[in-house]
Amino acid sequence: MSNKSISKSHQEYLSAIKRRKRSILIAQIGILILTLVLWEVAANFRWIDPFIVSSPSRIVKLFIEYATNGNLHKHVFVSLMETIVGFAAGTILGLIIAIGLWWSEYWARVIDPYIVVLNSLPKTALAPIIIIWVGAGYSGIIVTAISVSIVVTIMNMYNSFISTDPNKIKLLKTFGASKPQILKKLVLPASIPNLIGTLKISIGLSWVGVIIGEFLVSKAGIGYLIVYGSQVFKLDIVMMGVVILAIICALMYKIIASIEKHFIKWIE
C-alpha cells in the first residue's frame, strides 16, 4: 500500500504508534541506565557493600578479563549448547506427547493426573535423582533441562489442541477427512500461536534446568561460574554470571518474539 492511499488520520495513527513504541524503548533504556548508575554510585560511596553486591565497573572489568583469556567463551558456549539441546528436545518430545494425548482421549484421561503431579513437583528436587540415573556431565544436565520444560509444553499444547474449534473439525469430518488430515490441516496450524507462546516459557525453564544441573555437577558453564564464585567468596564472579545469564535469556526471548512477530504478519 502506497503512502498516497493512506488517509491523513491513518498516518497520524501510525505515527502515534511509532512515537509510543519509541517512548517505551527510551523509558526502558533510561531505567536500565539509571539503575546501573545508582548501583555504581552506591557501591563507590559504600552505601551498599561492594564485596556482596559488586558494582557495574567491577563486573565489566572482570568480564573483559575473562573474555580476554578465553574462559568466558568456553563457559557461555557450554551453557548455551546444553540449553539449546534441552530446549529443542523438550519442545519436540512435549509436542509429540501432546499429539498422542489429543489422538487418544482414553490415554489422555489415564495420564492426566500424572501430568498434574509432575507439574506440581519442585524440579530442583528431581535434579539430583536425574543426574544419578543419567550420569554426571552434559547428559545429566540436558535431561534436567528437558524435565523442567517438557511438562509445561505437554500441558499447554494439549490444551491448545483440544481447544480447536469443534465445528471446523466436524466440517472436515463431513468431507471425509481422516484424523491425520485433521491434525495436519487444522489442529497444528491453529495451535502455532500457542506453540510460540509456549516456546517463550520453555526457553526460560530450560535455562533453569541447565543452571540447576550445573550447580550440582559441572566443570564448565555459567552455573559453574556462579557456584565457583560463591565457594571462593569472589562475588564479582557470581554477579557477572548472573548478568551474562540475564543478557543471554533476554536475547533468546527476543529471537522467539521476533519469530512470533513475523509469523503474525505472515498470517495477516
C-alpha span between 230 and 211 (Å, rounded): 14
Q: Among 198, 173, 194, which Cα is nearest to 185's?
A: 173
Nine cell digits for residue 110? 489415564
Q: Where are the alpha helices (DSSP H) in the chain?
A: 8-44, 50-53, 56-69, 71-103, 105-120, 123-134, 138-162, 166-174, 179-182, 188-190, 192-216, 222-231, 235-267
CB-based burial of residue 252 (10 Å sphere; 0-12 exposed, 13-18 middle, 19+ buried)?
Answer: buried
C-alpha span between 95 and 108 (Å, rounded): 14
The pLDDT value given to residue 5? 59
The pLDDT value given to residue 264? 65
Query: What is the full per-residue pLDDT of the chain (268 aa) written as tens digits?
Result: 444 556 777 777 778 788 888 888 888 889 989 988 898 888 888 888 777 777 888 888 888 888 887 778 888 888 888 889 988 998 999 999 999 888 888 888 888 888 888 877 777 777 778 778 877 777 888 888 888 888 889 988 888 888 888 888 888 888 877 888 888 888 888 888 888 888 888 888 888 888 888 888 777 888 888 888 877 777 888 888 888 888 888 888 888 888 777 776 655 5
Nine cell digits for residue 55? 558494582
